[in-house]
Chain A
Amino acid sequence: MSEAAAAWLQAGLLVVLLAAAHVPLGEYLARVFTDPRHLRVERLVYRAAGVDPDADQRWSVYLRSLLAFSAVSVLVLYALLRLQDHLPLSLGRAGVPADGAWNTAVSFVTNTNWQWYSGESTMGHLVQMAGLAVQNFASAAVGLAVAIALVRGLARSRTDRVGSFWVDLVRGIGRVLLPLAFVAAVVLLVGGVVQNLAGPHEITTLAGGTQTMVGGPVASQEAIKDLGTNGGGFFNANSAHPFENPTAWTNLLEIFLLLVIPFSLPRTLGRMVGDIRQGWAITAVMGSLWAGAVWVATWAEMTGAGAVPVAAGGAMEGKEVRFGEAASALFAASTTATSTGSVNSFHDSFTGLGGGVTLLNIMLGEVTPGGVGAGLYGMLVLAVLAVFLAGLMVGRTPEYLGKKIGRHEVTLVALYVLTMPTLLLLGAALTAGIPALRDASVLNPGPHGLSEVLYAYASTANNNGSAFAGFGADTVYQNVALGLTMLAGRFVPIVLVLALAGRLAAQTPVPVGPGSLPTHRPVFVGLLAFVVVVVAGLTFFPALALGPVAEALL
């Protein structure tokens, strides 16, 4: 089988799997978050936490609950990291320094999983399991909750209530992420991913040298790492490590896992607002942009511009030979399109164009299909923006799903759209512009060095977590600044989205008629895709021109 055929085949297989899974999973998610009953075990949790599961919250109360939960999460994780050496199962690892602990605590709570450290040599098993893995579940469930609250805002009318954060959180973890992750972990285990609590293992290699093999509870963490679009690897090499991702089959499964919930959520939207076609339209936008990115990245890596790739017949630097260019490009495009950030190859080593695609994917705002929950709410915000721009052209005050887009809604959307570029550009400009910072972190000269800086701040501002590895992230300044970027990049949009949900829920819906802008037809799908690309493109094109574009055209 030719490489091109193999590339098409595995991408095709992935699309078939997603197509088969997204309807039942989307429907299941809709049922989970509209179910009036509580499971017995959930009631126990609510009683223990002292919350009333039947209290429908105003958006501001929902937000306060969410922020309180996240703040506690950061503190607990910070404490675990700092005190690691006093805890069991630490494998004798030292406590994490303050700036690093801050960065990692924020990183995992914001669903970013940016890692300045090497997992296998810094974290003990307890921190991995009770700290990082717990946040992999919790942060994904928080994103899911916000998306569901926004969908409720669209679906409900004349109410100031958008649901209960505690119920959404508990159900997101208990009914969605845990069962799916359990099944995925078992399948990964069968596929060869390791799972144990062993310490480091010294072995003698064939050549006679010694090597330290680190095992651990990998499979359990691997499943939620991808399913929750987290991305923080157990090992530094992440999904390129054979213990995390041993075969082409586990590779495909991991890509499937990181895409499956984000691609199912539009169906949930369609079901909850009572118009399946609206879900299809969002899926179409997400799907076509994702497919475009996969196509360009694969093409770039397989035909590989540049002297070495041409000689070698493809850009194999930084890629695992057991995956090859196509499976690496597919993984890279998917992990950057979903705010996951796990990697099975090194984006830093991609061709100019291929690396540019991963960077652009992140800069689109993680909406193609984006992270768990975050992708849907990001895309819905952009849909509101598209509706506002285009809706005027049908001669009515713009409306989306029967909700009018007036001054307050536009303000929230405008601030949302402003947030990420502000964080990204300011952060990158400071590092690139201040010589001391630049010299400490930018390790490659020329446009590629700029790409690395842009990638670092794009990745953190969008809560992706992957990196161009040439960037020196482990400095006190970068740990603090990137931590702040992650924090603001996650929670400022959440504040705005929940406020939007509250405003939308309070509205009296406008009946949909022939005079309303149709938001389920191909014209709107094309328009929304155009808005996604143009909003990001116009904002970042000057900076991109000096980084990846200059590289790609070399």
Chain B
Amino acid sequence: MTPTQVPTAPRRSSGVRPAAGQFRGRQLVESLPQALVKLDPRHQVRTPVMFVVWVGSVMTTVLAAVHPSVFAWAIAVWLWATVVFANLAEAVAEGRGKAQAATLRRARTQTMARRLLADGTEETVPGTVLAVGDRVVVESGEVIPSDGDVVEGVASVDESAVTGESAPVIRESGGDRSAVTGGTRVLSDRIVVRITARPGETFLDRMIALVEGSARQKTPNEIALSLLLASLTLVFLLAVVTLQPFAVYSGQAQPIVVLVALLVCLIPTTIGALLSAIGIAGMDRLVQRNVLALSGRAVEAAGDVDVLLLDKTGTITLGNRRAVDLVPAPGVSAEDLAEAAQLSSLADETPEGRSVVVLAKEQYGLREPGDLPHATFVPFSAQTRMSGVDLELPDGTRMVRKGAAAAVLAWVRDAGGTAQPETAAVVDAISGSGGTPLVVAELRPGQRAHVLGVVHLKDVVKHGMRERFDELRRMGIRTVMITGDNRLTAQAIADEAGVDGVLAEATPEDKLALIRSEQEGGRLVAMTGDGTNDAPALAQADVGVAMNSGTAAAKEAGNMVDLDSDPTKLIEIVAIGKQLLITRGALTTFSIANDVAKYFAIIPAMFAGLFPQLDRLNVMALHSPQSAVLSAVIFNALIIVALVPVALRGVRYSPADAGTMLRRNLLVYGVGGLVAPFLGIKLIDLLVALLPGM
């Protein structure tokens, strides 16, 4: 298993929205003005850790102005730098969303709508006055004015403004592909849309608010972590404030500047500075994968998911069944069967029919015959449950039929033939294995009808699914396949795909009940859905990902929307959720581990004058007490900038069980956090020592 920067973004077919994948140094410079604006104390007070640094910066600046020295000014400057760097991290994270929002805004430009009146006439009104329930007409070339459901007609729609995907999609009335999004463009035909969103609350509006971060609220875990960081800050504040009486007792009061420097170095500024950037970047990573999380809570919940409910069709299997085998009847050659199967499927445009032709070509080298002038095709119908072809031969008509076993066998009997018992056995075996048997029979002039053999149709599991499920299992996530198939078929596919459970003959009520029972057991459930009847289950699930192609009801019920309508993406969403939490934990651990080295820099520097023996703690052999304190402060500020890319990208993450992940991350961020500042502070000290007055 190779550790990857997971999950990799799907390749985008068009660059309508900026690909904000990489972090570039230039973004830091570009965001600087924004970072300076955030120095406003009303903004700072929202992050207690950084507010303490802000207050410290003000204090040291005043003190440096009253009693100027190189040291005092250097500390003041670097404390301000610490605050600015923290703001910068947040500004960069927000900036990436802002760029995306700007392009989205362009799509939201004022459109005129053709509103249908009760008497069937149209009036032209601005898109912003449309109310829920209004019906509007949109024709080719026009922009859909607001979110709605198609109630009349079918059209191809260019949704690239929202999804970034340039290939047009079909939207039609009824069914699960009826939802259209305001700001997208109709390419052909005419549709009537019933508006489902109030002005200002359309999908596009919400999306802009989300990517901009203006609608961002702290998530539960983020709040918990902030509380812990605030209390750590309090502890250190106490430790530093009470240090002064102890220092006075010991005979040497400490300069306030040094105490402030000590405090800032001890409080968890690294994670405090990066916490909100991590949250914004997590949402942003989803947006880059064309998933909109309508609440930050859902992103976190994704990391906690214990059970994934996956629809069979389209997620686990390719959309349709395919012919995988031909089983000839006794006395019939495989080639004869293949030829007949191919003939009977030529007119069958269903994916199943095409797959029979493909199989005959690939396994038996049968080319598709050219025009068959004497052929009459018999299309499939629900009554006959078979299809076929009648070929006019010189000596009469050759009839070939292919279809459901019972129907074809009845046809054979009617035509005076008999079926061998072997055929029934093959049919049963295929059914038993979860496949679908199609019987092929023919009637040649002057002969009795007879069965040629059986075509084995099968659901084909998507490539690589088994590996992904194995990976999920290692991460402790169970997968349950949802299908309308009967139990036998469902179980066969489930075994092949390697899912942990299966819900066969599933009704929407069954889905909802399954989710509830899993939640009763304390497990978090994620699912995808697109139909209106999925809405209750989507709402009940802890993570409900609605397909953008789905109905408005589904999108309303879920807490995420996948603009690509790719149900497999649920797995990536889980990975992003986990990565978000891991990034927070890793940087917190790193931040706290850093303190050990800072003590070794600052404490001897503060008190070696008083107790010379404390200089033995100066294990880094720092140049002077002042250079030691300054170096620690500089390290503390620079480490924020150094970790901005980690905060924005997220830490490296490869699926593994919790024990392995803990070991790995503790090693990198715990032990790394212990060691790194020893090296960093020493290096900075070598430079700082060159300053005059140090």
Are A410 and B227 closer than 8 Å at their CB atoms?
yes
User: Could you tell me which residues of chain B, from 631 to 682, have a CB within 8 Å of some CB in chain A?
Assistant: 653, 657-659, 661-663, 665-666, 669-670
Query: Interface residue count for B (Cβ, 8 Å)?
Result: 74
Q: Which residue of B lies closest to A530 (CB)?
A: B670
Stretch at the interface among A15-23, A281-289, A487-495, A539-547: A539-547
Q: Which residue of A lies closest to B249 (CB)?
A: A432
A55 proximal to B (CB < 8 A): no
B306 proximal to A (CB < 8 A): yes
**What are the residues of chain B within 8 A of A89 when measuring CB–CB?**
none
**Given A392-B588, A397-B581: A514 and B238 within 8 A (CB)?**
no
User: Could you tell me which residues of chain A, from 374 to 397, have a CB within 8 Å of some CB in chain B?
Assistant: 385, 388-397
User: Could you tell me which residues of chain B, from 505 to 523, have a CB within 8 Å of some CB in chain A?
Assistant: 520-523
Are A402 and B522 closer than 8 Å at their CB atoms?
yes
**What are the residues of chain B within 8 A of A13 when measuring CB–CB?**
none
Interface string of A51-67 (1 = CB under 8 A from B): 00000000000000000
**What are the residues of chain B within 8 A of A542 when measuring CB–CB?**
239-240, 243, 246, 262, 599, 603
**Given A396-B304, A417-B231: A515 and B476 within 8 A (CB)?**
yes
**Given A418-B231, A541-B603, A550-B614: A429 and B588 within 8 A (CB)?**
no
CB distance from A312 to the nearest CB of B (A): 22
User: Could you tell me which residues of chain B, from 238 to 255, have a CB within 8 Å of some CB in chain A?
Assistant: 238-250
**Given A395-B653, A450-B246: A389 and B224 within 8 A (CB)?**
no
**What are the residues of chain A within 8 A of B663 when measuring CB–CB?**
523
CB distance from A534 to the nearest CB of B (A): 7
Are A538 and B599 closer than 8 Å at their CB atoms?
yes
Stretch at the interface among B333-341, B362-370, B589-597: B589-597
Q: Which residue of B lies closest to A516 (CB)?
A: B658
* Alpha-carbon distance between A405 and B230 when the two chains are bound, in angstroms: 17
Are B224 and A407 closer than 8 Å at their CB atoms?
yes
Interface string of A522-554 (1 = CB under 8 A from B): 011001001000100111111101110110011
Are B658 and A554 closer than 8 Å at their CB atoms?
no
A174 proximal to B (CB < 8 A): no
**What are the residues of chain B within 8 A of A393 when measuring CB–CB?**
582, 585-586, 589, 661-662, 665-666, 669
Are B249 and A553 closer than 8 Å at their CB atoms?
no
User: Could you tell me which residues of chain B, from 544 to 588, have a CB within 8 Å of some CB in chain A?
Assistant: 577-579, 581-582, 584-586, 588
Are B578 and A406 closer than 8 Å at their CB atoms?
no
Question: Of A397, A432, A530, which is within 8 A of B246 by CB?
Answer: A432
* Alpha-carbon distance between A509 and B250 when the two chains are bound, in angstroms: 52
**Given A425-B239, A543-B239, A543-B242: A392 and B228 within 8 A (CB)?**
no
* Alpha-carbon distance between A421 and B520 when the two chains are bound, in angstroms: 41
Question: Of B241, B243, B577, which is within 8 A of A395 by CB?
Answer: B577
Question: Of B245, B248, B520, B582, which is within 8 A of A394 by CB?
Answer: B582
Are B306 and A515 closer than 8 Å at their CB atoms?
yes
The secondary structure that dominates the B interface is helix
B214 proximal to A (CB < 8 A): no
B221 proximal to A (CB < 8 A): yes
B220 proximal to A (CB < 8 A): yes
A518 proximal to B (CB < 8 A): yes
**What are the residues of chain B within 8 A of A72 when measuring CB–CB?**
none
A503 proximal to B (CB < 8 A): no
A interface residue count range (under 10 / 10 to 19 / 20 to 34 / 35 or more): 35 or more
Interface string of A496-527 (1 = CB under 8 A from B): 00000000000011110111111001011001
Q: Which residue of A lies closest to B243 (CB)?
A: A542
B487 proximal to A (CB < 8 A): no
B303 proximal to A (CB < 8 A): yes
**What are the residues of chain A within 8 A of B304 when measuring CB–CB?**
396-397
CB distance from B268 to the nearest CB of A (A): 10
Question: Of B239, B241, B248, B592, which is within 8 A of A389 by CB?
Answer: B592
Q: Which residue of A lies closest to B578 (CB)?
A: A395
**What are the residues of chain B within 8 A of A537 when measuring CB–CB?**
596
B266 proximal to A (CB < 8 A): yes
Q: Which of B230, B246, B607 has the most CB of A within 10 A?
A: B246
CB distance from A112 to the nearest CB of B (A): 22
Are A527 and B666 closer than 8 Å at their CB atoms?
yes
A240 proximal to B (CB < 8 A): no
A447 proximal to B (CB < 8 A): yes
* Alpha-carbon distance between A389 and B579 when the two chains are bound, in angstroms: 15
B300 proximal to A (CB < 8 A): yes
**What are the residues of chain A within 8 A of B520 when measuring CB–CB?**
508
CB distance from A135 to the nearest CB of B (A): 31
* Alpha-carbon distance between A450 and B657 when the two chains are bound, in angstroms: 49
**What are the residues of chain B within 8 A of A524 when measuring CB–CB?**
662
**Given A395-B578, A410-B224, A418-B231: A390 and B238 within 8 A (CB)?**
no
* Alpha-carbon distance between A428 and B613 when the two chains are bound, in angstroms: 24
Are A395 and B303 closer than 8 Å at their CB atoms?
yes
CB distance from B550 to the nearest CB of A (A): 28
* Alpha-carbon distance between A391 and B658 when the two chains are bound, in angstroms: 9
**What are the residues of chain A within 8 A of B469 when measuring CB–CB?**
none
Q: Which of A390, A394, A430 has the most CB of B within 10 A?
A: A394
Are B607 and A550 closer than 8 Å at their CB atoms?
yes
A414 proximal to B (CB < 8 A): yes
Are A414 and B242 closer than 8 Å at their CB atoms?
no
B236 proximal to A (CB < 8 A): yes
Are A407 and B589 closer than 8 Å at their CB atoms?
no
CB distance from A489 to the nearest CB of B (A): 15
**What are the residues of chain A within 8 A of B586 when measuring CB–CB?**
392-393
Question: Of A394, A407, A426, A515, which is within 8 A of B238 by CB?
Answer: A426
Are B523 and A511 closer than 8 Å at their CB atoms?
yes
Are A546 and B607 closer than 8 Å at their CB atoms?
yes
Are B250 and A450 closer than 8 Å at their CB atoms?
yes
Are B521 and A511 closer than 8 Å at their CB atoms?
yes
A50 proximal to B (CB < 8 A): no
* Alpha-carbon distance between A539 and B236 when the two chains are bound, in angstroms: 6
**What are the residues of chain B within 8 A of A391 when measuring CB–CB?**
585
Are B522 and A410 closer than 8 Å at their CB atoms?
no
CB distance from B215 to the nearest CB of A (A): 21
* Alpha-carbon distance between A394 and B476 when the two chains are bound, in angstroms: 11
**Given A390-B666, A542-B240: A414 and B657 within 8 A (CB)?**
no
* Alpha-carbon distance between A426 and B241 when the two chains are bound, in angstroms: 9
**What are the residues of chain A within 8 A of B246 when measuring CB–CB?**
428-429, 432-433, 450, 542-543, 546-547
* Alpha-carbon distance between A413 and B231 when the two chains are bound, in angstroms: 10
**What are the residues of chain B within 8 A of A409 when measuring CB–CB?**
224
Are B582 and A429 closer than 8 Å at their CB atoms?
no
B444 proximal to A (CB < 8 A): no
CB distance from A515 to the nearest CB of B (A): 2
Are B614 and A515 closer than 8 Å at their CB atoms?
no
Question: Of A390, A426, A513, A554, which is within 8 A of B585 by CB?
Answer: A390
Are B231 and A421 closer than 8 Å at their CB atoms?
no
* Alpha-carbon distance between A491 and B659 when the two chains are bound, in angstroms: 36
Are A553 and B522 closer than 8 Å at their CB atoms?
no
Q: Which residue of A lies closest to B475 (CB)?
A: A515
CB distance from B573 to the nearest CB of A (A): 13
**Given A393-B586, A553-B613: A410 and B523 within 8 A (CB)?**
no
A-B contacts, 25 of them at CB < 8 A, read A392-B582, A394-B582, A395-B661, A407-B224, A407-B227, A413-B228, A414-B232, A425-B242, A428-B242, A429-B242, A429-B246, A433-B244, A433-B245, A513-B476, A514-B658, A515-B475, A516-B658, A523-B666, A527-B666, A538-B235, A538-B266, A538-B592, A541-B599, A542-B239, A542-B262
Q: Contacts A392-B584, A511-B522 given; 11 further ones with Cβ under 8 A? A: A390-B666, A393-B585, A396-B578, A402-B522, A409-B224, A417-B235, A418-B235, A433-B244, A508-B522, A514-B476, A550-B614
Q: Give me the interface of B with A, judged by CB distance under 8 Å.
A: 220-221, 223-225, 227-228, 230-232, 234-236, 238-250, 262, 266, 300, 303-304, 306, 473-477, 520-523, 577-579, 581-582, 584-586, 588-589, 592, 595-596, 599, 603, 607, 610-611, 613-614, 616-617, 653, 657-659, 661-663, 665-666, 669-670
The 5 closest A-B pairs by CB, nearest first: A515-B476, A392-B585, A433-B245, A395-B578, A414-B231
